[in-house]
């Protein structure tokens, strides 16, 4: 068995999931994941202020992302072993302290330590989404997960914009200070409004981590979801990791223009609730196929860029970016709906496995995309994205096997 039921004494019945509580969870997911990206727009100002070189300052976002990856693997599974409410509150406190340390860091060393801690604690988002899925009625799970994911995606979308504005007006330290206050306010709301959750297993920590391998082996639906979403992440990351270089080389555009393309993320934020409602009504399997097919079509559209007049090329890239961003986020919500229904007592571990696949895909896409760009130019990046998204569609079209 992959999970051991907890004692009935540990169980708590969750109240009806109100709109206010869904909004609170969506806000918490967005605020926590936003902390991963606050540093990126202000690295130049930050480095000059603390007299750190480009290489040292570049480690700030790297350690933040590394901390997040480690947190997904090592901390997210704890949601099945302990009360998720306590975990969310504990991570909120840790995140607030890490942000405060960043705001007063005297040098790059302290900032790097704080950045790693921010990444670890920001995995609070990966506790919030399974919590929302647990409280949601089964026939509304996709809608609720989609709404919470909208908050998470808006946090990613708006984080860089808000960070840049605040840093320009009040300095980079103010960004971390304001972020700490926002997490503190969420923690107060969660302490007052979030119910307790029953532990669903009594496994020890080592066995808890080991059980994720058993879940992977036991459930074909989990493997398909992680593999398909990982392949879509390869395509997604290959595009975004090489976009700025391509825009500069082909159109003479700078980093500000590449950042403006991030507004296509608004399409992903819009896709989440729509995909959730569609998954509730028609089933998530169809949404995953539709999303993978739309992703493939969007990247295939990019293959036509060379055939268009120069002045029309940029517009086509924008349209394609909106299309695949919408499709990939919709597919993610549908995959989450599938995964959360596989084995309810193991939702935190299932979520960790799914997002490990996403993270591996993102990292692979960045590396492969850079290699493709260097070897074959932008057409090589587009070909890589087409192959990866085609692979994801094939995974979703294959007949499902029983565990």
Please spell the DSSP secondary structure of 112-147, one letter per residue.
HHHHHHHHHHGGGHHHHHHHHHHHS-GGGHHHHHHH
Q: Rg of the Cα trace of the chain?
A: 21
Q: Alpha carbon of 252 to those of 241, 242, 284: distances in Å?
A: 17, 14, 42
Arithmetic mean of pLDDT, 353-363? 87
Q: CA-to-CA distance for 149 and 379, rounded, in angstroms?
A: 32
Name the DSSP class of 76: G
Residue 302 pLDDT exceeds 80: yes
pLDDT in tens, 215-230: 999 999 999 999 999 9
Q: Alpha carbon of 13 to those of 9, 188, 194: distances in Å?
A: 11, 21, 12
> Which token pair is 211?
């059980």
Q: Are 177 and 103 in contact (CB under 8 A)?
A: yes
Q: CA-to-CA distance for 220 and 228, rounded, in angstroms?
A: 12
Sign of the C-alpha dihedral computed for residues 366, 227, 210 and 73 taken in this order: positive
Question: Residue 168: which pLDDT band, with cuts at 50, 70 and 90?
Answer: confident
Sign of the C-alpha dihedral computed for residues 313, 310, 369 and 395 taken in this order: positive
Q: Alpha carbon of 195 to those of 11, 47, 200: distances in Å?
A: 11, 42, 15
Q: Are 365 and 236 in contact (CB under 8 A)?
A: yes
Q: Are 114 and 101 in contact (CB under 8 A)?
A: yes
Please give the pLDDT value at position 65.
80
Q: Is the pTM of this model over 0.85?
A: no
pLDDT in tens, 232-263: 999 988 887 787 678 877 887 765 566 567 66
Please give the pLDDT value at position 1.
41
pLDDT in tens, 11-68: 344 445 788 999 999 999 999 999 988 887 777 777 778 877 767 777 887 788 888 8
Q: CA-to-CA distance for 50 and 56, rounded, in angstroms?
A: 11
Q: CA-to-CA distance for 236 and 281, rounded, in angstroms?
A: 27
What does the angle CA 400 – CA 215 – CA 325 come to, to the nearest 5 degrees? 65
Please give the pLDDT value at position 10.
39
pLDDT in tens, 304-341: 887 788 778 888 988 898 899 889 988 998 999 899 88
Question: Residue 265: which pLDDT band, with cuts at 50, 70 and 90?
Answer: low
pLDDT in tens, 37-50: 888 777 777 777 88
Arithmetic mean of pLDDT, 265-270? 66
Please give the pLDDT value at position 9.
37
pLDDT in tens, 105-151: 988 889 999 999 999 999 999 999 999 988 988 888 888 888 898 88
pLDDT in tens, 75-97: 989 999 999 999 999 999 999 99
Return mean pLDDT, the chain.
85
Q: Is residue 186 classed as helix, strand or coil in its secondary structure?
A: helix
Most confident of 163-167, 263-267, 399-403: 163-167
Please give the pLDDT value at position 4.
45
What does the angle CA 271 – CA 276 – CA 281 come to, to the nearest 5 degrees? 125
């Amino acid at each position: 068995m992959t999970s051991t039921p907890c004692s009935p004494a540990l169980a708590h019945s969750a109240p009806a999931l109100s709109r206010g509580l869904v909004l609170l969870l969506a806000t918490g997911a967005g605020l926590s994941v936003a902390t991963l990206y606050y540093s990126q727009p202000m690295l130049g100002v930050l480095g000059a202020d603390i007299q750190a070189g480009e290489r040292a300052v570049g480690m700030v976002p790297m350690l933040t992302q590394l901390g997040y990856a480690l947190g997904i693997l090592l901390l997210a599974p704890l949601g099945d072993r302990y009360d998720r409410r306590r975990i969310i509150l504990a991570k909120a406190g840790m995140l607030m302290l890490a942000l405060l340390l960043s705001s007063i860091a005297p040098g790059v060393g302290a900032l790097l330590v704080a950045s790693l801690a921010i990444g670890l604690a920001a995995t609070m988002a990966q506790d919030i989404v399974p919590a929302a899925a647990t409280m949601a009625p089964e026939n509304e799970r996709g809608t609720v997960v989609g709404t919470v994911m909208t908050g998470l995606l808006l946090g990613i979308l708006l984080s860089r914009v808000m960070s840049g504005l605040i840093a320009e007006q009040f300095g980079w330290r103010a960004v971390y200070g304001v972020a700490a206050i926002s997490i503190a306010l969420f923690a107060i709301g969660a302490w007052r409004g979030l119910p307790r959750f029953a532990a669903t297993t009594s496994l020890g920590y080592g066995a808890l981590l080991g059980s994720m391998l058993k879940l992977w082996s036991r459930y074909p639906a989990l493997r398909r979801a992680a593999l398909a979403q990982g392949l879509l992440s390869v395509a997604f990351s290959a595009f975004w990791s090489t976009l700025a270089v391509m825009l500069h080389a082909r159109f003479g555009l700078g980093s500000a223009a590449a950042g403006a393309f991030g507004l296509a993320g608004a399409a992903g934020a819009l896709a989440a609730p729509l995909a959730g409602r569609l998954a509730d009504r028609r089933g998530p399997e169809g949404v995953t196929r539709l999303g993978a097919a739309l992703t493939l079509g969007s990247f295939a559209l990019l293959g036509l860029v060379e055939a268009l007049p120069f002045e029309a090329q940029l517009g086509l890239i924008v349209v394609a970016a909106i299309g695949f961003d919408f499709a990939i986020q919709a597919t993610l919500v549908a995959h989450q709906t599938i995964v959360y229904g596989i084995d309810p007592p193991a939702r935190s571990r299932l979520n960790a496995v799914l997002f490990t696949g996403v993270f591996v895909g993102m990292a692979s896409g960045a590396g492969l995309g850079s290699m493709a760009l260097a070897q074959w130019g932008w057409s090589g990046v587009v070909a890589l994205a087409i192959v990866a998204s085609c692979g994801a569609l094939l995974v979703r079209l294959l007949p499902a096997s029983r565990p």
